[in-house]
Chain A
Amino acid sequence: MNAAQQVKFYQVGSLAAGNRLLAPELRSDQSDPDRSNALTCGHRACQGCGEALGARYVLDAAQRASGGNVIAVNATGCLEVFSTPYPETSWQLPWLHSLFGNAPAVASGVAAALRAKGRTDVRVVGQGGDGGTVDIGLGCLSGMFERNDDVLYVCYDNEAYMNTGVQRSGATPPTARTATTQAVGDAPGAPFGQGKSLPLIAMAHEIPYVATATVAGLRDLEAKVHRAMGMRGARYLHVLVPCPLGWGTPSHDTVRIARLAEQSGLFPVFEALDGEVTAVTKIRRRVPVEEYLRPQKRYAHLFTPEVRTDVIARLQRAADRNIARFELAEEVLP
């Protein structure tokens, strides 16, 4: 059980953003009326954007953890495009953008420059979407990991290239419809047996810290950012951020869908130190994968014109495998 979950206030537990009964220092960073709002109003993300939400959650917490001394380096992608149409910026912290694939390398460079200047108080966060991280930036990221550069790299995973029109990425799950994996043919949507798990790849580098989180678990996400910011070396945080546009979900469902991803077992939430899983967030209200899939138009072909029980069962097996592999099921007390 991580620190965020130990707070037991029953009206809201530790699950809501704030809690009037808790001492302010025990509340979430997001409940602070003076939070830094690293990503401020007026950005052009779609209604209900999970990535905009996730980025603010992460960077506000990172700023809180480091006394506000954070430099962010951003890969190309939605997050960069919607936040910085020339000459406007939504960022309220030092922020750099270079290329689609080189954000981890630029972040390594910023960290090296700070080290050369003796500025150990200033911390570096690299960030990008799943395209920039899992596919295009993987070489640079792997280098950053293997050199153990002092960077927290955050991937906001919305499971496709949303900015350019919802093309498949290496993080797109099987059967999901994208512009390049159309819902046609015998096996509609993204194929089974492709794609990769970057958290596991990061763990294989045996870097100090790897964690996954979702925008549905604010307290958990913040605790992980604080933990990561308390360490030095290469750290990796993978945050699931539903995309109403690309996933075909109502804008008000962003958090609910992220919660269902977690509660179905399709997106395991865990923490790993030096390449070993050390903590998992147990599933609290387990749901069948169907409950997660059905509200999303990218999976509509699994339900119309007929329900593809065979395909859904295969996805259920993937979820069950995660639950077994990461021990996500709540222990039953004897």
Chain B
Amino acid sequence: MKEKPFAITLDVGSSLANRTGAWRTERPEYVHRLPPCNGACPAGENIQQWLFHAESGDYESAWRELMRDNPLPAVMGRICYHPCEAACNRVQVDDAVGINAVECFLGDEAIRHGWTLEAPQATSGKRVLVIGSGPAGLSAAYHLRLLGHEVTIREAQDRPGGMMRYGIPRYRLPREVLEAEIDRVLALGIALELGARVDDVLAAQRDGGFDAVFLAVGAGIGRRAYIPAGDSARILDAVTLLGGMEGEGPPLLGRKVAVYGGGNTAMDAARTARRLGATDAVVVYRRTRDRMPAHDEEVTEALEEGVRMKWLSTIKHADGGRITIERMELDETGFPQPTGEFEELDADTVVLALGQDSDLSLVEDVPDLAVDHGTVQVADGLMTGHPGVFAGGDMVPAERTATVAVGHGKKAARHIDAYLRGTSYRPGPKHDPAAFDRLNTWYYADAPASVRPRLELARRVSTFDEVVQGLDESTALFEARRCMSCGNCFECDNCYGVCPDNAITKLGPGKGFAIDLDYCKGCGLCVAECPSGAMDMIPEE
């Protein structure tokens, strides 16, 4: 034994011999929660993950992550109504993260740099027919092609894009952006047949030797309402007006245009009328603004552009440059009731924007395929009652937006893939939601949202130039960095920092952390100080 100083009998030892983990009654654990943005995205994008890449300035990785779910980011970055932002937890701190703006930025970067995807060989030996080249059809074709199937799209019109081209005005979606993204999808080796209307889906499937069909014909027929009208009344529907904008010459409207309806299409029609030279564009809607199906942003932009609104009004008669409207009032159930009070309004043209129906003549003879209220009925996997025939987008019962359609395309592709392989597709279990009250928002620096610049008003009412403009690189980066990474670790090192017992080990970039249960006393500081709520305390057995 070594000689020791006076009164010393034991060797010096480290406190590491004292395993304080034995004190613990609860242990911390790293968890993953579903961020509200991801949960709300109709296309099922992993928004948080692509923002994570964008935050470090790695826009290409961000774009590739985005493209796993959505083949049209530059389009969606413009026309999506971004339910992700409505769900964003940051709303409760200052403003939602500008997810849509960052998506637009990434989409534009991809176009600018010419980023593309490699398509795998079509090795499955299976062939799929996609009918319709709108967002649902393109998305399904894209995902099916990436899953190794041979895909043909048949489009009745002479240009691809569906409602993105024939329904959404250029000032919301410049056509060169649309073309670029469609071309990139087709470049994966997808055959596109234009002007190829399908009248009988089963015949087309049989004749073409297709193993499965995805129907995505959209809802392209403007709904008409009976309005008593004189001989000189000019009445057309919004779908015809907006679709006509893609033809040779713009449709002829008068100086005074009344648009009948309260949805997004009504706003698009009224704003288009303004741009075509209407001095007066009036939206006539039977309920109030807060009950309007149109998105608030669109209504605001329409009002900014001088579109007038006649709330609580229905059109009773139209003739000779004048319309008669009846004032309505809402009953207790919120349903509009006529009041018998009338007024007259100047209007050369009445544009009907009262909803749209699908042309379902192609499925009339399909056995076991059910149609109800003008929509094709589908099971959870988007398959119709007829095996091998799937449907999605505006023609099935769902919210009718381009993003929902993109989501249908992806979902249908997965189920079609499983169908073709003789299996069934089971989506993985979802994490529990990353609720706001799990966050420790103290750690997020104050950072107000960036605002996307808008075209000046004078040019908005006279041209079809894009209204909502993109963010520049530094602003997009700023915006991406406002993400709070709800429910998922972003390696801020707080857990590692605040542990009074040094019981957390840093494993290196991308690898996260490990908890040393030999020393963790279970105080819970790491969990309490985790900004993003990516940790839980769980009781020891």
Contact = CB atoms under 8 A, between A and B. Distances in A.
A220 B399 CA distance: 50
B386 interface: no
Interface string A77-120: 00000010011111000000000000000000000000000000
Contacts of A83: 15
A15 B442 contact: yes
Nearest to B518: A41
Given A15-B443, A41-B20, A21 B56 contact: yes
B458 interface: no
Given A19-B492, A252-B523, A45 B483 contact: no
Contact of A48 (B500, B502, B509, B516): B500
A256 B528 contact: yes
Given A10-B478, A42-B20, A31 B496 contact: yes
B18 A88 contact: yes
Interface in B483-528: 483-485, 490-494, 496-503, 505-506, 508-509, 516, 518-519, 521-525, 527-528
Contact of A90 (B14, B496, B503, B506): B14
A49 B17 contact: no
Interface string A10-24: 111111111111000
B502 A11 contact: no
A13 B527 contact: no
A44 interface: yes
Given A15-B445, A41-B502, A218 B15 contact: no
A235 interface: no
A89 B524 contact: no
Contacts, number: 171
Interface in A192-208: none
A259 interface: yes
B444 interface: yes
Contacts of B501: 41, 43, 45, 52
Nearest to A45: B500
B527 A252 contact: yes
A37 interface: yes
A28 B493 contact: yes
A52 B500 contact: yes
Nearest to A285: B442
Nearest to A83: B15
A303 interface: no
A42 B498 contact: no
Contacts of A250: 524
Interface of B is mostly: loop
B443 A255 contact: no
Best-buried of A250, A252, A253 by chain B (most CB within 10 Å)? A252
Interface stretch (B5-13, B241-249, B343-351): B5-13
Contacts of A254: 500, 523, 525
B19 interface: yes
B442 A11 contact: no
Contact of A56 (B446, B502, B519): B502
A10 B482 contact: yes
Nearest to B491: A20
A20 B14 CA distance: 33
Interface of A is mostly: loop
Interface string A35-54: 00101111111011110110
Best-buried of B481, B485, B498 by chain A (most CB within 10 Å)? B498
A11 B493 contact: no
B444 A44 contact: no
Given A16-B494, A17-B498, A41-B516, A252 B14 contact: no
B494 A17 contact: yes
A48 B503 CA distance: 12
Contacts of B494: 16-18
Contacts of A89: 12-15
Given A13-B445, A89-B14, A255-B498, A41 B524 contact: no
Contact of A10 (B8, B56, B445, B529): B445
Contacts of B444: 10-13, 15
B379 interface: no
Nearest to A57: B497
A16 B442 CA distance: 9
Contacts of A19: 492-493
A20 B10 CA distance: 45
A18 B20 contact: no
Contacts of B537: 252
A84 B13 CA distance: 10
A15 B446 CA distance: 11
A41 B15 contact: yes
Nearest to A33: B506
B497 A251 contact: no
A286 interface: no
B524 A48 contact: yes
Nearest to B490: A11
A20 B56 contact: yes
B442 A47 contact: no
A298 interface: no
B23 interface: yes
A12 B492 contact: yes
A175 B298 CA distance: 58
B447 interface: yes
B497 A49 contact: no
A259 B525 CA distance: 13
A16 B444 CA distance: 8
Contacts of B527: 252
A252 B17 contact: no
B525 A40 contact: no
A30 B55 contact: no
A298 to B, nearest CB: 19
B16 interface: yes
B531 interface: yes
A14 to B, nearest CB: 7
A183 B386 CA distance: 78
B55 A11 contact: yes
Best-buried of A10, A19, A90 by chain B (most CB within 10 Å)? A10
A301 interface: no
17 contacts: A9-B445, A10-B447, A11-B482, A12-B443, A12-B531, A13-B443, A18-B494, A18-B497, A40-B16, A42-B16, A44-B18, A47-B521, A47-B523, A48-B521, A87-B10, A253-B528, A255-B528
**Considering the complex of A and B, which 8 residue pairs feature the smallest CB-CB distances, nearest first?**
A13-B445, A18-B493, A17-B497, A252-B524, A42-B15, A48-B523, A31-B493, A47-B523
Given A11-B55, A19-B493, A45-B501, 14 more contacts: A10-B482, A11-B481, A11-B484, A15-B445, A17-B493, A47-B23, A48-B521, A52-B500, A53-B498, A87-B10, A88-B13, A89-B13, A90-B15, A255-B525
Interface of B: 8, 10-20, 23, 55-56, 442-447, 478, 481-485, 490-494, 496-503, 505-506, 508-509, 516, 518-519, 521-525, 527-529, 531, 537
